[in-house]
């Protein structure tokens, strides 16, 4: 179900930009996400989304964004894609993300897009224009296997389309990298998967790869994930029941081995494992004669 709502604000401001994604303002144009990844953290109770399948469209988002950007004195990175995907299928017709990018370009703000969709290519020229200030596109890819991605991320384009999006953006001069996260214990935490993703990232000329060899698991997110795991493979669910003891995050039991492999391969192929941040322009230097 899709519903239009009026939002009160559109940007959430963090006290400090985080050290990984360098995001200072988080922008969510929708609530809920049509990609329906079985492990999605946004199902957690703390986010107060009653039904994650229902998509709420913030119909006044663009006016709010314009009004809020006008008031910000110090420009810093706007991030989108952490609570829902800015290129979920509804975006094709609604074009909220596209219109928001137009406003971000107009106001000259740096931008970080996180997505699992090759629909981001539709806005290539806008992102390229924003790149004059700063733009980066992080494409999340958790498995190199299209068939598995269709099961664990059922509403999103399969992984091969996402690698292709990274390649096209990179070749077109837009910085694009890969978020290899989450790595799901007993599902995607194999050496074969990590090696295949890094190989394909290299082919796609990814500007960086950031991994997380584990996942969060809390309340509604965990219930949904376990339910889907049980439908997918009862043996894997049995492993969670044996090794997971109710903690907030669950790391892969082979994370040290995978992390060492990851570092060695990225070093060999010279793929950075950090995202370069937006560099604020220096303060103007005043002289006696100004």
Could you give the residue ranges of the DSSP H alpha helices within 77-218? 91-94, 96-107, 124-130, 146-152, 159-171, 191-203
Q: Which residues, 6 or more positions from 289, have their beta carbon under 8 angstroms from its beta carbon?
A: none
> Please, what is the angle between helix 255-269 and helix 191-203, to 10°?
20
Q: How far is residue 233's CA from residue 160's CA, in Å, rounded to a whole number?
A: 24
Both tokens of 233, joined, read: 């493979």
**Residue 91 burial (C-beta neighbours within 10 Å; 0-12, 13-18, 19+):** buried
Q: How far is the CB of 153 from ligand SF4 (least distance, A)?
A: 6
* Nearer Cβ to ligand SF4 (69/87): 87
Q: Measured from the CB atom, is 43 or 200 closer to ligand SF4?
A: 43
Q: How far is the CB of 32 from ligand SF4 (least distance, A)?
A: 9
Give the residue from 117, 142, 137 showing the smallest Cα distance to 213: 142
Residue 167 to residues 111, 121, 273, Cα–Cα distance (Å): 19, 10, 17
Q: How far is the CB of 230 from ligand SF4 (least distance, A)?
A: 19
CA dist., res. 20 & res. 269, Å (int): 21
Nearest to ligand SF4 of 85, 189 (CB atom): 85
Of the pair 131, 188, the CB lying nearest ligand SF4 is at 188
The answer to whether 42 and 33 have CB atoms below 8 angstroms apart is yes
Specify the residue, 75 or 116, whose C-beta has the smaller distance to ligand SF4: 116
Nearer to ligand SF4, 112 or 116 (CB): 116
> From the CB of 31, what's the least distance to ligand SF4, in Å?
10
Binding site for ligand SF4 (CB under 6 A): 33, 35-37, 40, 42, 84-85, 116, 156
Smallest gap from residue 161 Cβ to ligand SF4 (A): 14
């Amino acid at each position: 179900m899709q519903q239009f709502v009026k939002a009160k604000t559109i940007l959430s401001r963090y006290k400090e930009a985080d050290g990984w994604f360098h995001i200072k303002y988080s922008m969510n144009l929708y609530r809920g996400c049509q990609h329906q990844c079985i492990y999605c953290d946004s199902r957690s109770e703390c986010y107060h989304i009653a039904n994650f399948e229902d998509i709420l469209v913030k119909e006044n988002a663009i006016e709010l964004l314009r009004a809020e950007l006008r008031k910000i004195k110090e420009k810093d990175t706007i991030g989108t894609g952490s609570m829902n995907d800015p290129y979920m299928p509804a975006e094709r017709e609604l074009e909220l993300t596209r219109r928001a990018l137009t406003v971000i370009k107009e106001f000259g703000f740096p931008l970080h897009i996180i997505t699992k969709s090759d629909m981001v290519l539709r806005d290539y020229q806008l992102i390229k224009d924003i790149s004059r200030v700063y733009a980066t596109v992080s494409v999340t890819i958790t498995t190199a296997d299209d068939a598995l991605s269709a099961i664990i991320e059922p509403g999103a384009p399969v992984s091969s389309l996402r690698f292709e999006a990274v390649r096209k953006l990179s070749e077109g001069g837009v910085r694009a990298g890969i978020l290899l996260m989450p790595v799901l214990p007993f599902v995607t935490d194999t050496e074969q998967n990590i090696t295949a993703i890094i190989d394909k990232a290299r082919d796609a000329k990814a500007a960086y790869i950031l991994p997380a060899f584990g996942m969060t698991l809390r309340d509604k997110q965990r219930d949904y994930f376990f339910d889907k795991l049980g439908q997918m493979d009862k043996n894997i669910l049995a492993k969670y029941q044996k090794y997971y003891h109710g903690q907030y995050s669950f790391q892969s039991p082979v994370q040290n081995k995978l992390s060492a492999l990851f570092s060695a391969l990225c070093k060999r192929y010279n793929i950075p494992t950090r995202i370069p941040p937006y560099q604020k322009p220096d303060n103007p230097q005043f002289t006696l004669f100004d």
